[in-house]
A and B are shown apart, each in its own frame.
Chain A
Amino acid sequence: MVDVSQHKLVPEHTLLDDEAVEDVLQEYNVKKTNLPKIKRKDPALPEDAEPGDVIKIVRNSRTTDKAVVYRLVIE
């Protein structure tokens, strides 16, 4: 099987722990469900991600150095 994370189109995906998720939600003043979504069967997802988890994505941005976004794992 091909290692998806090595592809240049795929940014780094990391699983956030509960504490970090709280910080993120507080910072943006949003609910979990307001975040953009990512499907559980997404090939770029870390293996142990479950629906309800929040994934931190660090993109190589075209307009700045790094852009950090978050996605909520859904079914």
Chain B
Amino acid sequence: MRRNMSDQAQYLTVNLAHEEYGVDILAVREIRGWTPVTRIPQSPHYVLGVLNLRGAIVPVIDLRLRFGLSREEYNATTVTVIITVAGRQFGVVVDAVSDVLDVASDAIRPVPDMGTTVDTEYLKGLTSVGDRMVLLLDADKLLQPQDAQMLEAALDAAGQVKAVA
């Protein structure tokens, strides 16, 4: 290896609707098979619920729903990747995990504005491995916009109030 370690990072790649996404491996706590979760009231549609991770209550989001894709039936390869960001844990449901990549920092390209399908806000860049393209996720932002979530929940609640009143 010519490069020194500091400008190189490892990414866990996951599959999602024929795309490949990379998650900083230092943020990945564990990978587990899909298990049913307990639904939480008043949560955004992409928050599937909470699961018991050895005594801790951990929310789980569906990355497809998060990115506005259609929901797939969960099957044998569906996994939950547990991610730790800023001391908080959450699970991300993806179609499958595939690989661990070494990515040099100078091999990361900025994300071009793609307009519609995927919100580029959650991406910190993209890189290519051979002829494959890997989108690198910004794990901090997946569950992070707490304020946005709160707002959504508040709007939902307001809608309910109106429905009742």
Partners in one complex: no
A residues at B contact (CB < 8 Å): none
